[in-house]
Amino acid sequence: MVPKTRLGKRSPLGTLVCGSSAEGLTETGPHGCPDSGLHRSKLYPGQKVYVHCGGQECGGVVEQHNHVDNEVSIFLPQLNQHVHRKLEDVWTRPTSSFTSSVSSSIDVPRRSPETVDMDEIMAAMVLTSLSCSPVIQHSAPGSATQALCGMENGGGELSDGGYWSCDHGNGSPAPSPPIAEMDKSALLVDEGLDMELDQMLFNKPTARKRKVVTQSKPVSVPVSCHWTPSLTVHQSKQGSPFRLRSVSVGEQWLQNNNATFRPHPASVSPPRNHCTSRRIRGEAKKCRKVYGIEHRDQWCTACRWKKACQRFLD
DNA sequence: GATGCCGGGGT
DNA sequence: ACCCCGGCATC
Ligand SMILES: [Zn+2]
Q: Quick one: pLDDT at residue A304? A: 93
pLDDT at residue A89 above 70?
yes
Determine the distance between A222 (CA) and B8 (C1') in angstroms: 17
Per the structure, the complete domain to which residue A68 belongs is given by: 47-91
Note the CA–C1' distance, A238 to B10, in angstroms.
31
Q: Has residue A295 been placed in a domain? A: no
* pLDDT tens-digit readout, A119-139: 433 333 333 333 333 333 333
Q: Which of A225, A228, A205 is nearest to A216 (CA)?
A: A225
Model pLDDT, residue A71 = 84
Question: Averaged over A138-163, what is the pLDDT?
Answer: 32
For the cut 90, the answer to whether the pLDDT of residue A305 exceeds it is yes
Look at residue A127 and tell me if it is in a domain: no
Q: How far is CA A255 from CA A56, A249, A261, in A?
A: 60, 10, 11
Domain tally, chain A: 1
Distance A238 CA to ligand 1 centre (A): 37
Q: Does at least one atom of strand C sit less than 7 Å from the CB of A276?
A: no
On whether residue A75 sits in a domain, the answer given is yes
A144 contacts A156 by C-beta, under 8 angstroms: no
Residue A28 lies in a domain: no
In the predicted model, is pLDDT for residue A252 greater than 70? no
Residue A201 belongs to some domain of the structure: no
pLDDT value at residue A96: 59
- Asked whether residue A149 is domain-assigned, the answer is no
Query: Strand, coil or helix: what is A145?
Result: helix
Between vectors from CA A235 to CA A233 and to CA A241, what angle results, nearest 5°?
A: 100
Please state whether beta strands A48-53 and A90-91 pair in parallel, antiparallel, or not at all (unpaired): antiparallel
Among A26-35, A142-151, A284-293, which range has the highest average pLDDT? A284-293
Contact between A242 and A233 under an 8 Å Cβ cutoff? The reply is: yes
Nucleotide minimizing C1' to CA distance for residue A308: B5
Instruction: Look at residues A208, A195, A42 and name the one whose alpha carbon lies nearest to residue A116.
Output: A42
**pLDDT tens for each residue of A150-160:** 333 333 333 33
Distance between Cα A277 and ligand 1 center (Å): 20
Does A303 score more than 90 pLDDT?
yes
Q: Is the CB of A287 under 7 A from strand B?
A: yes
Chain B positions with an atom below 7 A of a protein C-beta are 2-9
Whole-number Å distance, CA A279 to C1' C2? 23
Say if A198 falls within a structural domain.
Answer: no
For residue A255, report the distance from its CA to the centre of ligand 1, in Å: 30
Residue A79 lies in a domain: yes
Amino acid A288: pLDDT: 92
Residue A278 Cβ < 7 Å to strand C: yes
Q: Which residue is nearest to nucleotide B9 (CA to C1')?
A: A208
Instruction: Judge whether A238 and A201 are in contact, CB under 8 Å.
Output: yes
